[in-house]
Amino acid sequence: MTMTHPTLARTLVPTSSLQRDLLLIAAGAAVVGLLAQAEIPLQPVPLTLQTLGVLLVGAALGWKRAFAALALYVAAGAVGLPVYAGGGSGLIAPGGTGLRASLGYLLSYPFAAALVGFLVERYGLDRRFVGTCLAMLAGSVVIYAFGLPVLGALTGLKGAALMTAGLTPFILGDTLKLVLAALLLPGAWTLLRRR
């Protein structure tokens, strides 16, 4: 399948090489790790800027590099690097009480970023406010499609209780992050066109 729109990364660094791709992948993982440290410690899943990073990395890198960057991020935290929310790491919940409640959300990140990257590369959705909102919304749906069922399985929460724990507290923040991304990405393209 032919991608018809270059990403921000490809536009800023047009020379293709393995070294460039590895650097972009590592940088994408690092950005998400840094944004994960901006945390409001809700239970059972904290509120962070992590998902903003996931969606922006997806749009900036394109689907293949974004998937790799977020897979690297999840793997780095899984093996003990303190890149998850609040400097956390590992797939076991703090206190060793079982798998961490945010596991489904973490596992969704490569897929959410890849979907956003695909939409950007295929349709150029990051060039306009509404298009960026649609791409980010699609990525957010993927995050909740993974996160909520796993959260329910790990905690035993169902129905309204599951929505209250894993969705409702995040709607306002996710909306604000979506709008922020929808301002940043088209703004970046506008600056590039002026150059």
Q: Which backbone phi and psi does 138 adopt, to 5 degrees?
A: -60, -45
- Give buried/exposed letters for 123-144 (b at 16+ CB in 10 A, else e): ebbbbeeebbbbbbebbbebbb
pLDDT for res 97 = 67
Residue with tokens 């780095």: 76
Report the SS3 class of residue 40: strand
Give tens-digit pLDDT for 14-51.
888 999 999 999 999 999 999 999 988 877 777 889 99
- pLDDT at position 1 is 56
- Rounded to the nearest 5 percent, the helix, strand and coil shares of the chain are 70, 5, 25
- Closest C-alpha among 39, 72, 42 to residue 57: 72
